[in-house]
Amino acid sequence: MPGVRASDTNMAYALSAQLAAMQLNVRHNFVNGRALVYAPGLLLYGTAGLNSAGFISINDLMAVAAAEIQAHALTTSGSPDRAGRRH
């Protein structure tokens, strides 16, 4: 997201900052959490909430991001988890 800054040394920090910003956008009605976004790169991972056309709701995408941060809290340069999620 433009305007959100976090250290990309650990990409989980950057994702956390983006997630927090989007949660605030949804909470304050700047973004509709039920709105669909196109994320075809997630089809490779069998992401929950993603439809066969590659669309996912903002709410489901935030849930996926939160789960990813919890599962891979340390994603520094060279981490296999970091490289596998880059699209």
pTM as predicted: 0.74
Q: How confident is the model at residue 86 (pLDDT cuts 50, 70, 90)?
A: very low
In a domain, 82, yes or no: no
Q: Which two tokens stand for residue 16?
A: 């956390």
Q: What is the mean pLDDT of residues 29-38?
A: 97
Report if residue 4 sits inside a domain: no
The pLDDT, as a whole number, for residue 10 is 75
Please state the domain count of the chain: 1
86 occurs within a structural domain: no
The overall average pLDDT reported for the chain is 82
pLDDT for 68 equals: 84
The reported pLDDT for the residue numbered 44 is 86
Q: Which domain holds residue 24?
A: 11-74
**Sign for the pseudo-dihedral over CA of 39, 44, 45, 48:** positive
Alpha-carbon span 73 to 2, nearest angstrom: 22
Could you tell me the two tokens for 78?
A: 């060279």
The distance between the two most distant Cα atoms of the chain, rounded to a whole number of Å, is 38
Cβ of 3: how many Cβ atoms within 10 Å?
5
